[in-house]
Structure 1
Amino acid sequence: MRGSESEREDRAVSRRGVLAAAGVLAGASSMPARARARASGGWDFIVVGAGVFGAWTAWTLRRRGHSVLLVDAWGAAHSRASSGGETRLIRTEYAGNALYTRWAWESLTEWHALSKRLGSPIFHETGALYLYPADTAQIDRSIAIQRALDIPIEKLAAPELARRWPQIGLDGIAVGVMQPTMGALMARRSVQALVEAFVAAGGSFRQFAVAPPRSARAALDAVTSADGSALEASHFIFACGPWLPKLFPDVVGARIVPTRQDVFFFAPKAGDGRFGGTKLPAWVDVSSEDLHYGFPDIEGRGFKIALDRHGPSFDPDRFDRRITDRALAEVRAYLARRFPDLARRPLAEARVCQYENSDNGHLLIDRHPGWSNCWIAGGGSGHGFKHGPAVGRYVADLVLGTGRAEPAFALAAHRIHGEAEERS
């Protein structure tokens, strides 16, 4: 049985945060009271990984009345997690991919709810601007999909872009796509707030380092830590981002490879509001070889810039997170072309994050092939954060047997990185 000490551990989220989050999300006050573990000592579900996918999955299952334990080795949205850091872009411009467009639009409603009902902002509606080197039929197809969903969107020629945002250098840009209702999600803050709301609604949270799971049966009975402590449940969901290949070397392995990603924040000139969130949208430069993207100065952190190029392989446990002089020089060279007034400004802050994209960029969400009660959800870095609410709903539907699987997310649809080149 779980004693009072264990119950206090389950709710190891700040009292202030829990009180602030109580009733944050719609439906919290009407949930069934079956919040504690079953009499046998286990839970209906254990979700491993308190990042954006794990937190929204745990919240959704709890909202549907199930007893849920959420665990993480270091805490919700910690500094090494893919869901850590300051900002993530939410946008529905998806090169004509109808599923991701719809998921992002549906998720925005729930992000708005979390932002509005909490004391601190989760979402900043800066708008999102895509910059393209040429006008193409694919851009028009993507716009048509979004307009069919009643998503506000504008297609702008280069002269109009220059009139609205003269602080952007438009060399090589032919057209832009502006989404005025999109913008920046505060990554760490939003996930931690969601976990607090989950606990306030009757969910359980523990800091617990899970060892690679083992079972000779057709199901998984428990997850264990390195010291042999065990947690039992009827079902298990692993949403561990870049740690999935380590937990499941045979099943996931090199289908997901964490890569190093450098992120920079530059300080605009004192009093220069042109690079703040009211004057400049979040942006993605499709014309750049490495697909640079960034955010205006939000909450005084500085102008953020990064690139979507997959960096070298990166071990989230072992590697130091220090930017290189070469990376800084490269990003300054890009700024000189696209944001020239920032090219010589001081570097205010820098971070080394990681992607954990799959080989084809699609999410990887599927049942473990050997254990009927175990599910894996990952492969989201680079574009997955915004979809957190939709992923939580999708995973909950799958594990409860009420949803239809998306073929592109299946394990069988993902090759091992490098496999295609070796076979060609």
Structure 2
Amino acid sequence: MTVEFDVAVIGLGAMGSAALSFLSARGAKTIGIDAYFPAHALSSSHGDSRLIRLGYFEDPSYVPLLQRAYYNWRALEIRLRTEILTTTGVLQVGAADSKIVAGTRASCEMHGLAHEVLDKAEMGRRFPAFQLDDDEIAVLDPQGGYLRPEAAIAGYLKLAAQDGAVLHFGERITAIEPGDGGVTLRSADGLYRAKKAVVATGPWIAELVPQLKAHAVPIRQVVAWYQPRDGFATEPRRMPCFLRDEGAGGSYFGFPAIGIDGVKVGRHAHFRERINPDEPNPPVNDADTALLDGFISKRVPAAAGQRVNAVTCRYTMLPSEDFLLDLAPGNPNVVVASPCSGHGFKFTSVVGEILADLALEAATSLPVAAFSFDAMNRFECGARVTDIPLG
């Protein structure tokens, strides 16, 4: 006998776990299914810390979603009685006309967000961990900080279970079959019937959403941790989280010494190497460590002590590097969430709400028009992400 659910959520990483929690809290009969186990190393939802910031350089249109995300993160903390979001401030560093710095200032000014603009001398006085060139500045977002991804996912799954959700781990959904009034999900272990399905499977999303085969591309990402040379300058009260624009050299992100491994840094999208999501993450190599060692020595010298750890994970990129939150073309009973593109975790708490809206109401009042299949298909660029060679 096949049990029928109101909504089945496939993939229980950041977005799937949040969606399951919001759906279950609204009284929906839910099941969450994941091929692996929470916050596993083949996903994009682990690694101790994720940045959160309000002055969003990518596009000011993200700010209202971020404001809702902050509200939802604090609501999650209250319900869990634990800290998920820690405020340290976030520094955006680079040339005044760089994408990160200019974009952050524009976003803050458009939405009236608190921020400070600091020159090299002021940075040296207040935040001595960083090294700036003479013509560079920094924009401080005082409400920025970091999230604890493993705690967030575990918390959402705990709340979903408390609200009645059924959880299946170690089970891979191989097909979603449309039918009258819903969908049938197939796995090696059986069949599941649901009125709606939410697909949030990260690097595997194209397996269940064929419209994304030419668009959603998993790539390799590397981060490293360093024991700082100057533990005083790199502790969280004196070293905010940061983003740094290196122009043609890409953009970097980092965190103060918030754990035993020290200061964490990475380059956004790293070398943009396409990977096979069904294979283990490629190991860290000398080119990876040379890149990150060189960056931290030059730009955050106070942190450039011994490298104690380096790991690979993965991003799932869309050509525009935006999100995708929409009903599947031709199947309104399937909600698609491929929202990361390397910058999505901070939005988890609002994306979960959006996915619940789409599954239960087929619409949301939150501003997501830019994250539709139509918007994705309209996007044009000279070098598509799908042209990235396998590394």
5+ residue gaps in structure 2?
Answer: 385-391
Q: Does 2:186 match 1:224?
A: yes
The structure whose Rg is larger is: 1
Amino acid in the other structure paired with 2:66: A
2:18 to 56, 66, 72: 56
Change (3 A) 1:98 1:167: closer
Distance 1:210 1:139 in 2: 40
| 8 Å Cα contact 2:178-2:331 kept in structure 1 | no
1:386 and 2:349 are equivalent in the alignment: no
Pairing of 1:173-322 with structure 2 (within 5 A): 174-215=136-177, 217=179, 221-227=183-189, 229-248=190-209, 250-269=210-229, 272-288=231-247, 289-310=249-270, 311-322=272-283
Label 1:321 to 1:86 Cα distance change in 2 as closer, same or farther (>3 A). farther
Distance 2:222 2:380 in 1: 23
CA contact (8 A) 1:78 1:188 kept: no
* Residue type of the alignment partner of 1:187: P
| Distance (Å, rounded) in 2 between the aligned partners of 1:353 and 1:418 | 28
Query: Which one of the candidate residues 330, 333, 337 is aligned to 1:377?
Result: 337
Q: Assess, with a 3 A threshold, how the Cα gap between structure 1 residues 217 and 205 changes in structure 2: closer, same or farther.
A: closer
Count of residue pairs the alignment pairs up: 377
Calculate the TM-score normalised by the size of structure 1.
Answer: 0.82
Pair 1:168–1:419, CA change in 2 (3 A): closer
1:304 Cα deviation after fit: 0.2
The CA deviation string for residues 72-128 of structure 1, in whole angstroms up to 9 with x for no partner, is 111222221111221110011222723311211221122233335545432221111
Task: Kindly report which structure 2 residues correspond to 1:19-418, keeping only aligned pairs within 5 A, or say none.
Answer: 41-95=3-57, 97-118=59-80, 120-135=82-97, 138-147=103-112, 151-171=113-133, 174-215=136-177, 217=179, 221-227=183-189, 229-248=190-209, 250-269=210-229, 272-288=231-247, 289-310=249-270, 311-343=272-304, 345-399=305-359, 400-403=361-364, 406-415=368-377
Distance 2:259 2:307 in 1: 16
CA distance in 1, matches of 2:5, 2:128: 56
1:236-284 alpha-carbon deviations (Å, 9 max, x no partner): 0101111102233x31102110000110001124x72221212210000
Partners of 2:32 and 2:348 in 1: how far apart?
16
Q: Give the unaligned 5+ runs of structure 1.
A: 2-39
Counterpart residue number, 1:22? none
Query: What RMSD in Å do the two structures reach over aligned CA positions?
Result: 2.5
Aligned partner of 2:196: which letter? Answer: H
Contact 2:59 2:103 in 1 (8 A): no
CA displacement, residues 150-188 of structure 1 (integer Å, 9 cap, x when unaligned): x43222222211210112111255221111222010111
Worse-matched range after superposition: 135-144 or 272-281:
135-144
Contact 1:52–1:385 (CA under 8 A) maintained in structure 2:
yes
- Cα distance in 2 between the residues matched to 1:133 and 1:216: 52
Residues 179 and 139 of structure 1: CA distance in aligned 2, closer, same or farther (over 3 Å): closer
Change (3 A) 1:123 1:226: same
Q: Partners of 2:145 and 2:308 in 1: how far apart?
A: 22
Secondary structure of the corresponding residue to residue 184 of structure 1: strand
Alpha-carbon distance between aligned partners in 2 of 1:381 and 1:51, rounded to the nearest angstrom: 14
CA deviations over 1:355-395 (Å, ceiling 9, x no partner): 10211011112212232311111131411111112112222
Provide runs of 4+ in structure 1 moved above 6 Å: 416-419
Read off the aligned partner of 2:352 and give its amino acid letter: G
Q: 1:312 to 1:177 in 2, by over 3 A?
A: same
* Greater mean deviation of Cα atoms: 254-263 or 110-119: 110-119
